[in-house]
Amino acid sequence: SQKIEQNSEALNIQEGKTATLTCNYTNYSPAYLQWYRQDPGRGPVFLLLIRENEKEKRKERLKVTFDTTLKQSLFHITASQPADSATYLCAFQQWGSQGNLIFGKGTKLSVKP
Amino acid sequence: KAGVTQTPRYLIKTRGQQVTLSCSPISGHRSVSWYQQTPGQGLQFLFEYFSETQRNKGNFPGRFSGRQFSNSRSEMNVSTLELGDSALYLCASSAGPGQNYGYTFGSGTRLTVV
């Protein structure tokens, strides 16, 4: 069956370190992969999008990679800050599936000062 | 510019009742999607509308329905509410194919069924 897994439910790191979050998928052929941040009681906020033919995307302190051979995406936050503490969600979209994002359960990141 | 607006923010309903939730997308966005978020299941896709047409539907019972108006505003309706329908309902809009732009979510409507 189709499955998306974000390897850690929670991740605790020290301020200034790089946070690395993992998203694995099985039995999908995603065309696009997106990462979102969600704070308690709020809707997800779009961060980055990467296409299946792209290996890496960067935006300020954020970096996302997409490996279709390993069926995995990695999301990195460099020089992490306490304000980065939130739940991070990966989401896939397949060709032709308008509006239908398939989300992972999320990883709750806590950055300690 | 204003974000995606969902009303109401909170709602308490009794089992068996029906409920209507509203979503106003970002001006100019024609695609509106709806999601249900629960602690156990995470975010699950309900349906997507574009230019008043439902283009995609998730695996939810027929009690869940929606529509989109000519101004792109959307509503979703849940009839014969069950306790398990308690969730955060999120609406998202997109400027174009979401694959290129990502989606902008509203803050959601927290529905509690008692």
B113 vs A26, residue with greater confidence: B113
A76 vs A8, residue with greater confidence: A76
- C-beta of residue B48 within 8 angstroms of C-beta of residue B68: no
Q: Which of A101, A102, A107 to mutate to test the interface with B (most CBs of B within 10 A)?
A: A101
**A90 CB burial (10 A radius; 0-12, 13-18, 19+):** buried
**pLDDT for res A35:** 96
- A51-75 pLDDT, tens per residue? 888 999 999 999 999 998 899 999 9
On chain A, the residues whose CB falls within 8 A of the CB of B100 are 49
Over chain A, what is the mean pLDDT?
A: 91
The verdict on A106 touching B (C-beta cutoff 8 Å) is: yes
Cα B1 to Cα B24: distance, rounded to the nearest angstrom: 13
A107 vs A68, residue with greater confidence: A107
Among chain B residues, CA nearest to A34:
B102
Cα A6 to Cα A112: distance, rounded to the nearest angstrom: 21
Chain A nearest C-alpha distance from B31 (Å): 7
A101 vs A81, residue with greater confidence: A81
B99 pLDDT above the threshold of 90:
no
Chain A nearest C-alpha distance from B50 (Å): 9
Weakest mean pLDDT among A93-97, A99-103, B74-78, B108-112: A93-97
Contact B100 A49 (CB under 8 A): yes
Using alpha carbons, select from A60, A104, A49 the residue that is nearest to residue A84: A60
On chain A, the residues whose CB falls within 8 A of the CB of B107 are 41-43
Q: Number of residue pairs across A and B with CB atoms under 8 Å?
A: 77
**pLDDT for res A8:** 81
Chain B nearest C-alpha distance from A110 (Å): 19
Chain A nearest C-alpha distance from B29 (Å): 12
Cα B83 to Cα A110: distance, rounded to the nearest angstrom: 32
